[in-house]
Structure 1
Amino acid sequence: MSKQDEQRLLVKIATLYYSEGMKQAEIAESLHLSQSFVSRARADNGQLSALSSAACSLSSSRFNDSGPHQR
């Protein structure tokens, strides 16, 4: 797995865990990974919460940029 693919996977795990509120077992099942892999990815990567913040920002900006801004 390339470094870029690994980063994408970590962002996906972070997004599902922090933004979508999914449990580790649910993430593992939906991404066809072992639960221990998801757990290690969360534990081994102190940057995961930072990545989740970035993922949330990206999701928000995509949502906000998808149409006219209304206030």
Structure 2
Amino acid sequence: MKILVASHSYIVDLNCEKLRTLAQLEPNIEVTVVVPRRWRPGGVQNRIIETQPREEGSFRVVPVSNFSEN
């Protein structure tokens, strides 16, 4: 089974834990997460978050260019 998730929330590595766990449940499960390459969270967090591509077994994070700041 292939699962594709697109969300700015998963730009933070800690937020990916449940998706990593899902990818490890069975050998035929592949999870790909599409996140913005750069994100400005706003509020009290005033720094821009940037991410890099990651691949850990059947779990992948794919950053894509985005036009929105948030």
Fold conserved (TM > 0.5)?
no
The bucket for the TM-score relative to the shorter chain is under 0.3
Tell me which structure has the larger Cα radius of gyration. 1
Pick the structure with more helix per residue.
1
Provide TM-score, normalisation by structure 2: 0.27
Pick the structure with more strand per residue.
2
